Amino acid sequence: MSGLSAFLRVSAAVVVLLLSAHWQSAVAVQDASPPAILQDYLRAMYARDAAAAYALVSDADKHEKSLEEYQSETGRYAGAALTLARTLSEAIRFERMAVQIDGNTATVTFDAALPNANATALEQIVHSFDRERLSRLEASAVESRQIAIRNMARDGRLPMLTSRGETWELVKEENGWRVHLNWAEAVEVRFRSIVIGKLGWEFKPLRNRVLAKPGETIEMAYRVRNIGTHETTGKARHVIGPKAQAAHMEIISCFCFLEQTLAPGESVDMPLVFRIGFDAPDDLSAFDVLYEFYVLSEFPEGAAG
């Protein structure tokens, strides 16, 4: 399974276009071919430029998921974080790219090389995309970091990750080719919450339902508020069903990994980042995720978050 996305399986097609082995400049606005649209989408997705990426998805997908939902799920960047992420996205290389067109459907296959923002050399420049830290940078500091990234790319010093055998589907609509993510057949993830025992907190998911394709990383959050009269420490755990398929839901980052202490009246939004595994079976249609919050002294012994 590919590193960028789950494969989108489509029917055989009739036309093959081999593109340049290396991307050298930004795609021209007037080039609205399926590979050009896909490259624009993938660069926007890499940069967490949610609005730009969403504009390039199909109408059928937009029917399933609104821009607001998509923005909240992608953890979109803004300000300096977005500027630096866009600069890195300029260095993405698309190799051995081919397109097969069958009527109003296009299948694009390619290999890709993407800047590894977790590598030490880049981490020092982008501060691990810590949005709060980057927001404090002066404009001149952001510009100097852009120059450093472009110099590294020019000199071949930019650490890269490779992804091979990518396959994406696009559909032709009235406004041109658009990326078809097929959210209609995504896995539905339903979120619930409950407060256990003596913990005087309100606790609820900010969204009760999200749609996720295998391999797609999703961000969402729960909101908790201490409605009691004294400071309290609690801890949460999750229960994922169906139990037999729970291993296919990967919890990447979760508030349940840590204890939470709230003063009376204090409210906080707690993030959750998860991914449906690339190897999820085709017949997996839904997960139910229940988060239980306990006062720390009542948290089940030996229970994991």
Q: What CATH number does the domain containing 70 carry?
A: 3.10.450.100
Residue at 221 is within a domain: yes
175 and 251 share one domain: no
Write the DSSP assignment of 33-90 as a string of letters.
SHHHHHHHHHHHHHTT-HHHHHTTB-HHHHHHS-HHHHHHHHT---HHHHHHHHHHHT
Closest listed residue to residue 36, CA positions, set 106, 85, 86, 91 = 106
Residue at 174 is within a domain: yes
CB 76 within 8 A of CB 104: no
Residue at 239 is within a domain: yes
Q: How far apart are CA 270 and CA 277, in angstroms?
A: 23
Note the pLDDT tens digit of each residue in 253-273: 999 889 999 999 999 999 999
Q: How does residue 305 score in pLDDT terms, banded at 50, 70 and 90?
A: low
177 and 206 share one domain: no
Q: How far apart are CA 238 and CA 274, in angstroms?
A: 12
199 and 81 share one domain: no
Q: How does residue 282 score in pLDDT terms, banded at 50, 70 and 90?
A: confident
132 and 28 share one domain: yes
First to last CA, the chain: 28
Please name the residue that has the structure tokens 């420490």. Answer: 233
Residue 99: half-sphere exposure toward Cβ, Cα within 13 Å: 21
Max CA pair span of the chain = 69
Residue at 72 is within a domain: yes
* Tokens at 105, concatenated: 């459907």
The residue from 184, 214, 231 where one domain ends is: 184
Residue at 1 is within a domain: no
Across-strand partners of 267? 225
Question: How many distinct structural domains can be found in the chain?
Answer: 2
209 and 129 share one domain: no
82 and 144 share one domain: yes
- For residue 303, the model assigns a pLDDT of 58
56 and 73 share one domain: yes
Per-residue pLDDT, averaged over 62-73, amounts to 94
283 and 143 share one domain: no
163 and 194 share one domain: no
Q: State pTM to two decimals.
A: 0.80
Q: How far apart are CA 210 and CA 277, in angstroms?
A: 15
78 and 165 share one domain: yes
Residue at 95 is within a domain: yes
70 and 125 share one domain: yes
The residue from 144, 167, 184 where one domain ends is: 184
- For residue 198, the model assigns a pLDDT of 86
The residue from 157, 184, 211 where one domain ends is: 184
Segments forming the whole domain that contains residue 242: 186-298
Residue at 64 is within a domain: yes
CB 8 within 8 A of CB 168: yes
Q: What does each C-alpha distance from 292 to 27, 232, 264 come to in angstroms?
A: 48, 16, 20
220 and 130 share one domain: no
231 pLDDT above the threshold of 60: yes
CATH code for position 210: 2.60.370.10
301 pLDDT above the threshold of 80: no
CB 4 within 8 A of CB 41: no
Note the pLDDT tens digit of each residue in 96-140: 999 999 999 999 999 999 999 889 999 889 988 888 898 999 999
Position with higher pLDDT, 18 vs 185: 185
Residue at 304 is within a domain: no
Q: What does each C-alpha distance from 135 to 3, 45, 159, 270 come to in angstroms?
A: 29, 20, 24, 21
